[in-house]
Amino acid sequence: MLRRRSLSLHPAQAVVVGFAGAILAGTILLWLPVSSTDGRSPSLVDALFTATSAVCVTGLTVLDTPSDWSPFGQVVIMLLIQLGGLGIMIFASLIGLVLARKMSVRSRLNTAAEAKAVGFDDVRGLVRGIVLISLTIEAATFLLLFPRFLFGYGYDLGEAAWHGMFHAVSSFNNAGFALYTDNLMGFVDDPFICLPIAAAVILGGLGFPVIMQLRREFRQPLHWSMNTKLVLWATFVLLVGGTVYITAIEWENPDTLGALDPGARLLAGFFHSVQARTAGFNSLDIGAMHDETWLGMDVLMFIGGGPAGTAGGIKVTTFAVLFFIILTELRGEGAVNIFGKRLSRAVHRQAITVALIALGAVMTGVVALMFITGLDLDRVLFEAVSAFGTVGLSTGITAQLPDAAKLVLVVLMFLGRLGPLTLGSAIALRERRILYEYPKERPAIG
């Protein structure tokens, strides 16, 4: 009995083990000679980096996806992206449903931990809903991209289908992998490519609970949960604010927006505001942008998208909760009220903990990268935030980094995808309850 108990995993530990197992399997597959175009195995670090970037739906690359990876390697990358987007535990539970037609309590707990489900009884429907929504949105994105590649750019039928499928999966899962050496810079002024990809990124970044509720109660906003309202409100504010910020700063930059007509400038500005929310596609040269643009994108990447979706970062709900906490303190009010409801004090602590742990992880990564590479702070900070936020944007330094720096980014991507609290609870052997309280005392603040 003791032995059985010692081998069982906490749901959060199972999530970590599942992701680590997928990364290991992906690393082995990408390390095979058949995955490379030249028939030789890439370095183990490069295979590990690419597998981690795919499973963690980041998009940072150290090898050129179209020229260095064979069709087999590209298919492996796409499948790893899909697995990472759905969540290893959700995928495992789905396989269990198909084969056994039943789900154990432990499987329900595992799936609930990954998908942020509220109860145990809704997990089976949740898994089905997640898979259905994912495939539906990816199929819709494919149907928009496929004819554009076929008729607009003269691709043959198979090539247009493959490009449409790969980029549909990559965009909805907020991965940022592209089948072009310059990512999507060749489509900077093409709304028929940029807008479907941006729409898929936004939907993936909303999170599955929000999409499910909007599907059921789209015309009943009064029934929307606080989570749905916060995600939609923060997403709108950050998308508009990011578009205005990036477009205004880069408007006259001849190496980015300055070379385009006004309509294309607005399209590119909006596109990069979307991508900075954890997708990682780029239609402009990120390395040619102004330092001020990088800093603004650092903020967007750090915040990320909605919880329980394909996005990374600390999540827009964490950002929104911290905003309302600050607003409440400035007003001198006793309770944090959001959309007519009082926020639980436990959420206060959780939001602060997530933000501070994330900040600590990024700063630790920045220091390590600067020590290893000797590069400037602005580029290193951008790279570290992009990795932790599972974004995939880069100023162009990723491929030139030494192996030690690549491993630092691997750790940041892993931490960023799983989340500080998930990883922390996975390491902890058991929850600890304290049955007493100390007397209160208040130190001076500020």
Q: What is the pLDDT of residues 227-269, one digit of tens each?
A: 899 999 999 999 999 999 999 999 999 999 999 999 999 999 9
Where residue 411 falls among pLDDT bands split at 50, 70, 90?
very high
In the beta sheet, which residues pair with residue 341?
338
CA distance 283 to 281: 7
CA distance 375 to 371: 8
What would the mean pLDDT of 136-157 be, rounded to a whole number? 96
CA distance 118 to 131: 18
DSSP 337: E
* Tokens coding 416: 């960023």
Asked if residue 91 has pLDDT above 50, the reply is yes
Longest dimension (CA), the chain: 74
What secondary structure does DSSP assign to 158-220, as a single string?
HHHHHHHHHHHHHHHTT----SSTTTTGGGTT-HHHHHHHHHHHHHHHH-HHHHHHHHHHTT-
Asked if residue 112 has pLDDT above 70, the reply is no
Q: Which 3-state string (H, E, C) describes 351-381?
A: HHHHHHHHHHHHHHHHHHHHHHHCCCHHHHH
| Separate counts of helices (H) and strands (E) for the chain | 19, 2
For the chain, give every domain's residue range.
10-116+124-425
The answer for 223, left when phi > 0, alpha when psi is -120 to 50, beta otherwise, is alpha
CA distance 148 to 168: 13
In the beta sheet, which residues pair with residue 331?
none
CA distance 420 to 422: 6
Distances (CA, A) of 425 to 9, 14, 16, 45: 11, 11, 10, 28
What would the mean pLDDT of 329-349 be, rounded to a whole number? 86
Helix (H) or strand (E) holding 320: helix 316-331
CA distance 32 to 47: 9
Asked if residue 54 has pLDDT above 90, the reply is yes
CA distance 362 to 415: 10
Q: In the prediction, which pLDDT does 433 show?
A: 67
* Tokens coding 347: 């959420």
Cβ–Cβ < 8 Å for 133, 211: yes
Q: Which amino acid, residue 97?
A: L
Q: Between 155 and 16, name the one with better pLDDT.
A: 155
Upper half-sphere CA count for residue 169 (Cβ side, 13 Å): 24
How would you label 267-288 residue by residue, b for 16+ Cβ within 10 Å and e otherwise?
Answer: bbbbbbbbbbbbbbbbbbbbee
In the beta sheet, which residues pair with residue 337?
342
CA distance 153 to 340: 51
Asked if residue 92 has pLDDT above 50, the reply is no
Give the tens place of pLDDT for each residue, 256-305. 999 999 999 999 999 999 999 888 899 999 999 999 999 999 999 999 99
Distances (CA, A) of 15 to 93, 126, 408, 423: 12, 17, 21, 9
Q: Mean pLDDT across the chain, nearest whole number?
A: 87
**Alpha-carbon dihedral angle through residues 88, 90, 92, 96, given to the nearest 10 degrees:** 180
